[in-house]
Structures are given as C-alpha cells and as structure tokens.
Amino acid sequence: MKNPVRVAVTGAAGQIGYSLLFRIASGEMLGKDQPVILQMLELPMEKAQAALKGVMMELEDCAFPLLAGIIGTDDAEVAFKDADFALLVGARPRGPGMERKDLLLENAKIFTAQGAALNKVASRDVKVLVVGNPANTNAYIAMKSAPDLDPANFTAMLRLDHNRALSQLANKAGVPVGDIEKLVVWGNHSPTMYPDYRFATVNGESLKDRINDADWNANTFIPQVGKRGAAIIEARGLSSAASAANAAIDHMRDWVLGSDGKWVTMGVPSDGSYGIPEGIIYGVPVISENGKYTRVEGLEVDDFSRAAMDKTLAELEEERAGVAHLLG
Ligand SMILES: NC(=O)C1=CN([C@@H]2O[C@H](COP(=O)(O)OP(=O)(O)OC[C@H]3O[C@@H](n4cnc5c(N)ncnc54)[C@H](O)[C@@H]3O)[C@@H](O)[C@H]2O)C=CC1
Ligand SMILES: O=C([O-])CC(=O)C(=O)O
C-alpha cells in the first residue's frame, strides 16, 4: 500500500464540495491504490462549520478503505499543512444575471490569504487547482501570493469547458464523445473563452472537416460553450456543481496520473508562447505524464483564432489590472 497523501479542499461544505469529496475518498482522483487524508476548510461561521461536520460524518459512514484521515477546520494553515494537493473551491458563486468577473473583488481576498497560507505550510510540491470564480484570476492571485512555491503548480479549471465542448461536438457530429481527441479551450473561464476544434480528430480523422460548418462554429458552438454556465444557473437556480466536481476530478487525475498521450485543457501560467504574456493563467492544451504537464506547442493560429485568443487575453489582463492593488 502507498503512503497516504494529503488533499486539501476548501469550501468543503458547499455544493461542489458535496459532489467532490466522496469521489476523492473513493480513489477516483488519485487512483484506487492511493490512500488520502482529506483536509477540509470552511468559513468560521457556525452554519458552515456545522454543515462541514455533517459532511465529515457522511464521509465516515461511507467507510472508504482509501480514506486514511479527515480533518475539518476553519484555519487555512491547518487545512494546507503539508498538503500535496489543494483544490480551492471555496468562494462565492454567481447568481442569475451576474458574470463571473463580478465576483472578482469579493473573492480575490480569499485567494491572497490562501496563497499565503499555502506558501507557508503546504508541501513544496503542492499541486493547486483553483475552481472558485473567476478561476483564472484567482489562480493568478494565489500564485503571486505564494512566491516560494513553483508557479507552474498553480492551475485554474477549464476542464468543465473542455468537457462541455466535447459533448456539443459529439452531438453535432453524431460520434461517441470518447472518440474525440485534440480539442482545446483557449483563455479565460468566461464567455470570452475560445473552444477550438480545428485540430480535433475522431478516430484519427478531422472533426472539423466532418462537421464543415463555419457558421455553426462561430454562431452556435462557441457562444453555447461560453454561456453554458449561465444556462445551468438559469435552469437550476444554482451554478453547476456535479459537472464542476467531475471536471475537477478529471483535471487532477490527468495531471497526476497522466493524460495517456491525450490533449486536455488546463489553465496554467503562460510561458509566453502563443502570444500570451508570461504569467497570465490561460487555458491551453497540455499533455500530462509522470505528474508534469507539457504544453502542446507549435499549433497554427489563424486570423479568426488570433482575434478570439486576444479577446479572452484582453479580459484576463483587465482582471489582472483590477486586482493589482491587492498583490503589493
Ligand atoms: N471553474 C469552474 O469551472 C467552476 C467554478 N465554480 C465556482 O466554484 C465556487 C464554489 O461553488 P459552489 O460550491 O457551487 O458554491 P457554494 O456556495 O455552494 O459553496 C462554496 C462554499 O465555500 C465556502 N467558502 C466561502 N469562502 C470560503 C473561504 N474563504 N474559505 C473556505 N471556504 C469558503 C462557503 O461557506 C460555501 O460552503 C464558486 O465561486 C463557483 O462560481 C462553479 C462551477 C464551475
Ligand atoms: O457559471 C458559473 O458561474 C459557474 C461556472 O463557472 C460554470 O458552470 O462554468
């Protein structure tokens, strides 16, 4: 049996937390041979702490063989102590009529504090996934607030967008979703994101050629993927939770255990490639192996794509400017 690893989850009593923790504890994220210690953070309010207690009782009641320990706390330095993985979910969600960036100033302070706490007490190799919105800029804030940790280990979740795009493409082309490869979602987790299937294949053949519908791409597919979060809020009255938790599991699992040669989308600090300034947390295609992700390099950027990639970049730069005063 492997030694247990420590997985910190913030916002553990929230709706994503409730869909996420049980799957981590059952081995779906890190493997069926990897024991985990869950270190869960919630707000210091009585209601949040009581709800967290309830979640911990239910985790116990599952008798997961891989669950080697559970810690519930309102102190970030307890939750992140020696953490090997940190899933930063805890943040306010948007409601109907809001954009994710409307949450920026309210949620930003969470990520300066949690970045600093990770910097102080987490494992030096901690792998961080930011889910709380606006996810890219919150990941940027956490990364900048943790100067002693490897910036490459701060990532934002665009996997839900990637998975949404896969399903839309599979429906349109009438192919099984699992047969589609080489999809990318560039940029920000916001309506400006650019889902790009120019390179996508189905059983090795071009999906773009098979669909062959530029109008559908520009006027249906791209906006539909970009606004899917809002459509879920409209339908449910609450933002996506089960699909968000599922995407978080996919993101971490592929990062840690490898993507099997397949492209997946991760929001990662830019290395300057594709005309994205260094350090901006931007969705790019990566392949992961042995716990390390590598960008897919050298993809052609045509005029349509350049315009789309620059638009989402401009929004990220605007968000970054909006939080610069918090970062000293
Ligand atoms: N990146 C993505 O694809 C997605 C991101 N999200 C975002 O994830 C976040 C969480 O969503 P839900 O679970 O639905 O919200 P929720 O409101 O159900 O749960 C959030 C939980 O976080 C806790 N929390 C708030 N501030 C905290 C802090 N400083 N430390 C620890 N815990 C804290 C709250 O008490 C609450 O229990 C939201 O910002 C939402 O917009 C949601 C779906 C997809
Ligand atoms: O739309 C929201 O606010 C929640 C979210 O990020 C998503 O579902 O993509």
Number of Cβ atoms within 10 Å of the Cβ of 318: 13
Identify the residue whose C-alpha is closest to ligand 1 atom 44.
Answer: 244
* Residues contacting 1, CB < 8 A, separation 6+: 33, 35
At residue 123 the predicted structure's pLDDT band, cuts being 50, 70 and 90, is: very high
- DSSP states of 243-287 as a string? HHHHHHHHHHHHHHH--TT--EEEEEE--SGGGPPTT-EEEEEEE
Question: Contact, 108 vs 237, CB < 8 A?
Answer: no
What would the pLDDT profile of 72-102 be if each residue is shown by its tens digit?
A: 999 999 999 999 999 999 999 988 889 898 8
Residue 1 has pLDDT above 90, yes or no: no
Is the distance from the beta carbon of residue 229 to the nearest atom of ligand 2 less than 6 Å?
A: yes
Residue 16's identity, in one-letter code, is I
**Superfamily of 5-156 according to CATH:** NAD(P)-binding Rossmann-like Domain (3.40.50.720)
What would the pLDDT profile of 138-158 be if each residue is shown by its tens digit?
A: 999 999 999 999 999 999 999
CATH architecture, domain 158-322:
Alpha-Beta Complex (3.90)
Ligand 2 atom nearest to CA at 133: 6
Predicted confidence at residue 101, as pLDDT, reads 82
**What is the residue extent of each domain of the chain?**
5-156, 158-322
> Which ipTM value was assigned to this complex?
0.99
- Rounded average pLDDT over 119-126: 98
* Mean pLDDT of the residues in the chain: 97
- Rounded average pLDDT over 15-35: 98
For residue 103, report the distance from its CA to the centre of ligand 1, in Å: 11
Please state the pTM of the whole predicted model.
Answer: 0.98
Predicted confidence at residue 226, as pLDDT, reads 98
SS3 for 22? Answer: helix
From the annotation, which residues make up the binding site for substrate?
A: 94, 100, 133, 164
For residue 229, report the distance from its CA to the centre of ligand 2, in Å: 4
Percent of the chain with pLDDT over 90: 96
Number of Cβ atoms within 10 Å of the Cβ of 34: 18
d(CA 128, CA 35): 19
Predicted confidence at residue 227, as pLDDT, reads 97
What would the pLDDT profile of 227-270 be if each residue is shown by its tens digit?
A: 999 999 999 999 999 999 999 999 999 999 999 999 999 999 99
- Rounded average pLDDT over 210-219: 97
162 noted as active-site residue: no
Taking Cα atoms as reference points, which of 161, 112, 165, 107 lies closest to residue 134? Answer: 107
Predicted confidence at residue 95, as pLDDT, reads 87
Q: At what angle do helices 228-236 and 159-173 cross, to 10 degrees?
A: 90
Predicted confidence at residue 235, as pLDDT, reads 97
Lowest mean pLDDT among 190-194, 195-199, 222-226, 321-325: 321-325
Ligand 2 atom nearest to CA at 240: 8
